[in-house]
Structure 1
Amino acid sequence: MRKALPIVLLSTLPFPSWAQTPDQAPTIVVTGAGLDLPPGTPAYGSVVIGRERLMDSASGRIENILGDVAGFQQFRRSDSRSANPSSQGVTLRALGGNASSRTLMLLDGVPLADPFFGYIPFGALAPERLSVVRVTRGGGSGAFGSGAVAGTIELASATREQLPDVAVSALYGSRDATEMSATVTPDLGDGYVSLSGRWDRGDGFYTTPRDQRVEASAPAAYDGWSTDIRAVAPLSADSELQFRATLFEDKRTLRFKGADSMSQGQDASIRYVARGAWQVDALAYIQARNFSNIVISSSTFRRTLDQRNTPSTGLGGKVELRPPVGADHVLRIGADTRQASGDMYEDAYNAGIASNPLTSLRHAGGEQWTAGLFAEDDWTLGRLILTAGARADHWTIRNGFYRQVSATTGVASGEDFADRSGWETTGRVGALFQASEAMALRAAAYSGFRLPTLNELYRPFVVFPITTQANAALDPEKLKGVEAGIDLRPARWVTLSATAFYNRLDDAVANVTIDAETRQRRNVDRIVAKGIELTAAAELGDMRLSASYAYSHSRVHAPGEAFDGFTPAQTPRHAASATLAWAPRQGPSLSTTLRYVAKQYEDDLESDVLPDALTLDAVARLPVGHGVTVVARGENLFDETVVTRNAGGSIDLGTPRTLWIGLSFRG
């Protein structure tokens, strides 16, 4: 078997699927990747994070690595060790959010968002399993599927060439934390199988500031594991079958003793890729997820809510064809579909009485379904590449309901919500002009849409003392945007990029304040975000530098509302990141990452501020021979106070200084 080039090269270089001479049989090349990226991809200004960076993070968490792309943000500043899982939606370009993802995140073409909540299960995504991450800020839906209103994040699995036969690592960190992972990748015939596992646990830090702690306060302990098996087998000289199955479980404790959450999942996908004259990329997947969460009163420290069971299922698939239409065109046509269903079972308690009695039992749920057709063509005209695509999606929201039964009287109440459906047409166009070897100009315009999640439609929730109501009448969000940029290479070892953008999100779903203790999810007229994104990279000898900065001026337009003209909640105006690494081919290595995020507001009324924060991370590696390396990592070395939540002065904090030491082995 001839091993594949890294996928980061596959995205830019022509790669014949096989070559044959009269004396030879076809050479089988197993890549484990999808089809090559079309030539018009750079028109949308993607940012690529390579495997070297993925393997060299102080936290070992993919969500923190994504922070290298300025403008990337989760609903809260916490990572997956100390955040409530349901708050870990992702977005880009300061379009705000309410914990559901406005960015479409894919792993080998499969959507990752939870079918019910819309959050990303970051605890199941181990960086060592990945080859490359491509972040497209903006860009609309294109051939990706619905949901990409704020951009797309594409994760690709590591190739066989990047995976050693055996890789093991074990680290011990502050507050009795451990991180252990192992991967075994044997060749099987002309294909391979990769089996990996990871376990993370720690006693955690106090998210509550010292002057706000009470007897019931507890550190943010976490305990999570994931296993992943991926198999790639050739079917012919130019086609292969890829299979993946992932199991994960993630347990966390937040703020108070007994405030425990649990998320788990069982995901599987199968993918067929053909690289012949007619290129094909077909995949199907299933997701089985669950979530539970106990809410503790911040005044009586008794249980107020037991979200004991939230099972959900996601089913979907995609078929993309690339017919042979000539050397100057790459035509993509296809269809995709996604179905999501889920239920919420929760029990409410009276926290004001010492006996903490059960007061009511609640059950809510529903289904969503989207199916789309797409076509996109990239046309190369010398130094000019034009790209254009269109989608038509039919969506359905059905079988929505909410039930509540009194635990004392047995009286039932509730509502069945009307089924809804509709069509959305979206598209994108772009142009890339290679003015010289050192300069490229690009421009793009696009549109996209996102259905509200089942969580937004049907599930109210409490972050004590604030109750946020669901809203079964929410309309889909719709985005229109334009951008223009320039890419420069002033020297062989330096690349610079600048992008100016204007995005408008109509019918944006927001948590709207009704009174001091009540919010409701509502569509607001629009959010308008405009700004500038800068990136830079340099490599000189053993030194590497990468940097990113985003300035975003974002405003909510909601005539008649108190927050009209305000900045969307959880949206910073400035964000920056820079990583400097010294990484010789042999011997020790060192990298440091400096990140800055400006102040942002907790709520829609700009009443509670999250101050700005500057953090420094570092990673050092010392090879000691026979494939063994000593690893030292440091997170937030300045021990900066990072405020992640501020509800009327009730504060939560992010990761303090955290130190790690351990060993890794590759053989």
Structure 2
Amino acid sequence: MNPRLFIAIFLLSPALGAEESESLSEIIVEANAETVIPAHFAGSSTVIDEEEIAGAGVRSVADLLATKGGIRLSSTSGNSSGSAVHLRGFGENASSRVLVLVDGRPINRPDMGGVSWLEVPISRLARVEILRGSQTARFGNNAVGGVINLITKEGGKTASVIEAAGGSDGYMMARASHQGTYDGHGISFDLERNFTDGWRDNAASELESAAFRWNKELAKGAEAIFGVSWADEFNGFPGPLTKDRYLLNPRESIYALAGQADQYFSDQRRWSTDSSLVLGKGSDLSFELPVSFTRRDQEWNFGPGMHSDNLLETILVSPRVMAGGKAWSAEAGAQYRYDSLELDQFSEIARINQTTAAQLSRDVLGLYANGEWEPWRSWYLHASARWEVSEVDASARSFAFPEDPDLNFSRGNDETNQAYQIGLRWEPRSDLSSWLRYDRLYRLPSMDEIASYQGYPLSVPFNDQLQAETGHNVELGAEWKPGPWMFRMNGFAQWLEGEIIFDYLQNLNLNLADTRRVGLETAAGYQSGIWDAQFHYTTLTAEFQNGPYEGKQVYLVPKHELTATLACRPIECVTVQAEYQYVSDAFEGNDFQNVQEKLPSYGVANLLLRYEPKPGLSIYARVNNLFDERYATVKYSGVWYPAAGRQFQIGIRREL
């Protein structure tokens, strides 16, 4: 198969899409991949709507997830836009255990690289959905800790938005977006430039992006969507600090101090295109065919002698059929994903002498089916199943050491996995619900967990003994919404068999041990004309269940996380919002024995002031880390990665 030719054929004729879904009594059949929350979801979910997004006054989606979604972030640069997101007690490599979707399409990288939260600008979003807990049976790989779905705007009511902001550390931002319908053609587009020097030295971050989407009803019950987006992003690497330097000046960069700041940065260009076709929109039987292609060309510079060009291409094809009746709905489909990764490494930043070349590819084919049924009034039964086969091929060549078997190899392996989900939801009243759910889950190893190809040789160059981590998840929860109030409580337990962890003593990624995570999530909210309050609290324990570290806690996993937001509108045109996030201490990275100095707990407060002199016009001022808390979200083997101190920004937003 020639995957590039395959994708080109489909993308040349834009296809898929549907924006609305038909209501079938109590069951809803979705005619598109945009929303991922079932009509009667047996689990804990959070939705951030367009009004909350518009009023958040944040730089990136990561900040939005933290302030409005109650999600913990960690960063090695101090810039939240490059943060890893943490759900359900995962610390190291958390980005590989949270599935990120854009309009239902996965955008996680096949390697351990995280999602860039600036690539999908705030101005492009219509809604954000957060599903906590395993959803592997529904979505496949990466959905071990949860799913984040970013839903973008489509043509509809004509509207334009322009926004500009500036602040400390050289922060500058300009956004423009427009959407509308013209002669039956839905059009939306956005442009953004986002820049900061960074709170730390050599932590600059800059992104320019653009996106365009088109949708049209081709005939009754048939709709097409086509989209294309582009982004160019630069990020500096400030590096870690020893404890003494961290306490003396956390803004320092170890690389800048050594006079090598110009050797530590990344620069990447990405473009993506997708098309979709929906047949039978609004009927009891519909068919959808989405196809997408993404190309990411990255220059990675991590010090003298470590300079690489990294080309990543991803093809995704996901046909599916949906059907429904008065009290049931069903969906079945296939998902094929092809990832190709090419790497060329050089000994100098001018890229004259090549030292390494590598090629990796991964094919993943999954078949799945979902169904929801109302067997008795107010009771909803949901079931999902997925079968997936994956194949990884890798080859690496060292020009400097052509005889070294650790740097020269050509290997491959494949494996098959299954996932299941069954959930029961009870809704005795419109304001009260409870649920019980079981998941059988898995996560595939990342390409660079298996293969050593970037000039950092592992003890085994291609570890074909490394298998997907598998496990079980159980949840029990309830939600009550009396009037302006909301209360939710959800308990969970997750067991992973052979969790993949990097063992620095063996210099290898291993299915190291079985682990167990047990926790309780609580959320509360209140919304009225004057007050708006949100509260998220999670307590959990993550432990090794066997192996050499049996009974020890998994490192970089705090036991307590709390996020609270309180907004007040003392007069109609003024909003004052206070935000607070607390994270308890955790064992530092690589501390398997739980004997080293912990990563300390921290509490960070933010303040937002918004003034709306007339409808559609708002001026806002934000202070992040109001009390200039000194803290770090990551610490490995005694070295610290400081988080940002106090930062200011002011902006203006105009809706036309």
TM-score class, shorter: 0.7 to 0.9
Contact 1:349-1:359 within 8 A present in 2 as well: yes
Matched, 1:635 2:618: no
Matched residues in 2 for 1:132 and 1:10: separation?
20
Q: CA-to-partner distance for each residue in 1:20-50, whole Å, 9 max, x for gaps?
A: xxxxxxxxxxx99747854332x12222222
Matched, 1:546 2:534: yes
Matched residues in 2 for 1:577 and 1:486: separation?
20
Q: Name whichever of 629-638 and 616-625 sits farther off.
A: 616-625
**Aligned residue for 1:63?**
62
Instruction: Give 1:635 deviation, angstroms.
Output: 1.1
Instruction: Give 1:358 deviation, angstroms.
Output: 9.6
Matches within 5 A, 1:5-44: 34=34, 38-41=38-41, 43-44=42-43
Instruction: Give 1:197 deviation, angstroms.
Output: 0.9
Contact 2:158-2:181 within 8 A present in 1 as well: no
The TM-score with structure 1 as length reference comes to: 0.84
- Unpaired runs of at least 5, structure 2: 1-17, 239-254, 256-260
DSSP-derived class of the 1:185 partner: strand
**2:490 aligned residue (496, 499, 519):** 499
Contact 2:233-2:267 within 8 A present in 1 as well: yes
Instruction: Give 1:279 deviation, angstroms.
Output: 2.4
Instruction: Give 1:318 deviation, angstroms.
Output: 1.0
Matched, 1:623 2:612: yes
Instruction: Give the residue type in structure 1 aligned to 2:203.
Output: A
Matched residues in 2 for 1:13 and 1:611: separation?
48
Matched, 1:245 2:228: yes
Q: CA-to-partner distance for each residue in 1:245-287, whole Å, 9 max, x for gaps?
A: 1111211112231111123211111122322221233211111
Contact 1:475-1:523 within 8 A present in 2 as well: yes
**Aligned residue for 1:333?**
332
Instruction: Give 1:659 deviation, angstroms.
Output: 0.7
**2:115 aligned residue (115, 120, 125):** 120
Matched, 1:295 2:306: no
Matched residues in 2 for 1:63 and 1:468: separation?
35
**Aligned residue for 1:602?**
588
Matched residues in 2 for 1:246 and 1:34: separation?
17
Matched residues in 2 for 1:556 and 1:76: separation?
25
Instruction: Give 1:227 deviation, angstroms.
Output: 0.9
Matched residues in 1 for 2:584 and 2:37: separation?
35
Matched, 1:272 2:277: yes
Q: CA-to-partner distance for each residue in 1:628-664, whole Å, 9 max, x for gaps?
A: 3222112111111121333444322112111111221
Matched, 1:231 2:214: yes
Instruction: Give the residue type in structure 2 aligned to 1:230.
Output: R
DSSP-derived class of the 1:64 partner: helix
Matches within 5 A, 1:430-469: 430-459=423-452
**Aligned residue for 2:3?**
none
Matched residues in 1 for 2:66 and 2:20: separation?
22
**Aligned residue for 1:139?**
134
**1:416 aligned residue (409, 419, 442):** 409
Instruction: Give 1:546 deviation, angstroms.
Output: 1.3
Contact 2:155-2:215 within 8 A present in 1 as well: no
Instruction: Give the residue type in structure 2 aligned to 1:423.
Output: T
Q: CA-to-partner distance for each residue in 1:289-333, whole Å, 9 max, x for gaps?
A: 12232223xxxxxx2422x21101110121221224x21111111
**Aligned residue for 1:322?**
322
Instruction: Give 1:370 deviation, angstroms.
Output: 1.1
Q: CA-to-partner distance for each residue in 1:390-424, whole Å, 9 max, x for gaps?
A: 111111112x1222121xx8767533343222221
Instruction: Give the residue type in structure 1 aligned to 2:217.
Output: P
Matches within 5 A, 1:485-564: 485-489=477-481, 491-514=482-505, 519-560=507-548, 563-564=549-550
Q: Name whichever of 582-591 and 149-158 sits farther off.
A: 582-591
**Aligned residue for 1:202?**
196
Matched residues in 1 for 2:606 and 2:599: separation?
21
**1:169 aligned residue (155, 163, 171):** 163
Matched, 1:92 2:87: yes
Instruction: Give 1:93 deviation, angstroms.
Output: 0.3
Matched, 1:222 2:205: yes
- Unpaired runs of at least 5, structure 1: 18-30, 207-217, 297-302, 351-355
Matched residues in 2 for 1:357 and 1:289: separation?
19
Matched residues in 2 for 1:171 and 1:12: separation?
46
Contact 1:333-1:375 within 8 A present in 2 as well: yes
Contact 1:546-1:578 within 8 A present in 2 as well: yes
Alpha-carbon distance change, 608 to 455 in structure 1, aligned in 2, over 3 angstroms: farther
Q: CA-to-partner distance for each residue in 1:585-618, whole Å, 9 max, x for gaps?
A: 9522222211111122331324353211111122
Matched, 1:394 2:414: no
Alpha-carbon distance change, 551 to 285 in structure 1, aligned in 2, over 3 angstroms: same
**Aligned residue for 2:250?**
none
Instruction: Give the residue type in structure 1 aligned to 2:64.
Output: I
Contact 1:498-1:534 within 8 A present in 2 as well: yes
Contact 1:362-1:405 within 8 A present in 2 as well: yes
Matched residues in 2 for 1:53 and 1:69: separation?
8
Matches within 5 A, 1:462-477: 472-473=463-464, 474-477=466-469
Q: CA-to-partner distance for each residue in 1:111-149, whole Å, 9 max, x for gaps?
A: 111244452121202122112222111133233233312
**Aligned residue for 1:46?**
45
Q: Name whichever of 601-610 and 265-274 sits farther off.
A: 601-610
DSSP-derived class of the 2:450 partner: helix
Matched residues in 2 for 1:626 and 1:394: separation?
53
Matched residues in 1 for 2:347 and 2:503: separation?
23
Matched, 1:286 2:275: no
Matched residues in 1 for 2:497 and 2:520: separation?
21
Matched, 1:373 2:361: no
Alpha-carbon distance change, 558 to 287 in structure 1, aligned in 2, over 3 angstroms: farther
Contact 1:279-1:321 within 8 A present in 2 as well: yes
Alpha-carbon distance change, 434 to 536 in structure 1, aligned in 2, over 3 angstroms: same
Contact 2:543-2:553 within 8 A present in 1 as well: yes
Alpha-carbon distance change, 91 to 82 in structure 1, aligned in 2, over 3 angstroms: closer
Matched residues in 2 for 1:462 and 1:440: separation?
53
Q: CA-to-partner distance for each residue in 1:342-390, whole Å, 9 max, x for gaps?
A: 022223579xxxxx99997122231111111111111112011111111
Instruction: Give 1:564 deviation, angstroms.
Output: 3.6
**What is the number of residues matched between the two proteins?**
609
Matched residues in 2 for 1:585 and 1:387: separation?
45
**Aligned residue for 2:241?**
none
DSSP-derived class of the 1:645 partner: strand
Instruction: Give 1:582 deviation, angstroms.
Output: 2.9
Matched residues in 2 for 1:238 and 1:79: separation?
48
Alpha-carbon distance change, 35 to 96 in structure 1, aligned in 2, over 3 angstroms: closer
Alpha-carbon distance change, 167 to 620 in structure 1, aligned in 2, over 3 angstroms: same
Matched residues in 1 for 2:630 and 2:365: separation?
45
| Aligned residues with identical type, % of pairs | 19
Alpha-carbon distance change, 197 to 633 in structure 1, aligned in 2, over 3 angstroms: same
DSSP-derived class of the 1:260 partner: strand
Instruction: Give the residue type in structure 1 aligned to 2:185.
Output: G
**Aligned residue for 1:215?**
none
Q: Name whichever of 337-346 and 602-611 sits farther off.
A: 602-611
Matched, 1:260 2:265: yes
Alpha-carbon distance change, 427 to 38 in structure 1, aligned in 2, over 3 angstroms: same
Instruction: Give the residue type in structure 2 aligned to 1:522.
Output: L
DSSP-derived class of the 2:408 partner: strand
The TM-score with structure 2 as length reference comes to: 0.85
Contact 1:315-1:340 within 8 A present in 2 as well: yes
CA-based RMSD of the aligned residues comes to 3.3
**Aligned residue for 1:591?**
577
Alpha-carbon distance change, 461 to 597 in structure 1, aligned in 2, over 3 angstroms: farther
Contact 1:7-1:132 within 8 A present in 2 as well: no
Q: CA-to-partner distance for each residue in 1:164-186, whole Å, 9 max, x for gaps?
A: 52211111100221011111224
